[in-house]
A and B are shown apart, each in its own frame.
Chain A
Amino acid sequence: GAGVSQSPSNKVTEKGKDVELRCDPISGHTALYWYRQSLGQGLEFLIYFQGNSAPDKSGLPSDRFSAERTGGSVSTLTIQRTQQEDSAVYLCASSPIDGANVLTFGAGSRLTVL
């Protein structure tokens, strides 16, 4: 596609529910990243994919967070048993294989946990 597409753009959920956030990267971009942007905070790295593999999951805040990528394209970030502190904007970015300096971000998925 022309850009990185994320869905849903907004999600309101109740504490304890599971949510899935989707990212569709730019066609041909092999690298995919998830970041989290909380109110008043900078972007926080969550996970990085090269193809379908996630060599670095170190940024995932807890075992309630997981992510997968299939077909070297679409990625899904899943948050189980959501907590209020999970409320944030979840940003996805993609880049070419050697393009860690030139990330293209999507518009984000704004998650609100009540």
Chain B
Amino acid sequence: QKEVEQDPGPLSVPEGAIVSLNCTYSNSAFQYFMWYRQYSRKGPELLMYTYSSGNKEDGRFTAQVDKSSKYISLFIRDSQPSDSATYLCAMRGSGGSNYKLTFGKGTLLTVNP
């Protein structure tokens, strides 16, 4: 079993839809959880990160972490064509030596006008 599992999609939705992206993980030591967005031929761009369990909201984006289920989600409200990209979840443990991020394979999202 891989440490981080993420459905690669592709996921296609109409403009304005609510999008739900998810990852599961197996390593209970993970404490920090991130979502990156990657446009074609570009590097990943950090959207948001959360620590431990709970929710975090930033504009149209909401990140949720459920450590008891080892499950994280990213919700995109009022999706726009400009949201079309690959979304990568990433996570790491706490402590000074835990700088290495473990990534999911990414979910390819297309938002159709």
Contacts and interface: CB of A to CB of B under 8 A. Distances in A.
B78 to A, nearest CB: 26
Interface in B72-113: 88, 90, 92, 97-106
B43 A91 contact: yes
Contacts of A42: 4, 6, 88, 102-106
Interface stretch (B12-20, B44-52, B54-62, B63-71): B44-52
Contact of B101 (A4, A31, A45): A45
A41 B105 contact: yes
Contacts, number: 58
Interface residues of B, number: 26
B43 A107 contact: yes
Interface residues of A, number: 25
B36 to A, nearest CB: 8
A70 interface: no
Contacts of A102: 46, 49
B29 to A, nearest CB: 14
B46 to A, nearest CB: 6
A31 B96 CA distance: 12
A56 B96 CA distance: 12
A4 B44 CA distance: 12
A43 B42 contact: no
A81 to B, nearest CB: 26
A61 interface: no
Given A42-B104, A102-B49, A107-B41, 20 more contacts: A4-B43, A33-B99, A42-B4, A43-B44, A43-B88, A43-B90, A56-B97, A56-B100, A59-B100, A93-B43, A100-B32, A100-B99, A101-B34, A101-B49, A101-B92, A103-B101, A104-B46, A105-B45, A106-B43, A108-B42
17 contacts: A31-B99, A42-B4, A42-B6, A42-B88, A42-B102, A42-B105, A43-B90, A45-B101, A45-B102, A56-B99, A56-B100, A91-B44, A93-B43, A100-B101, A104-B46, A106-B43, A107-B42
Interface of B: 4, 6, 8, 32, 34, 36, 41-46, 49, 88, 90, 92, 97-106
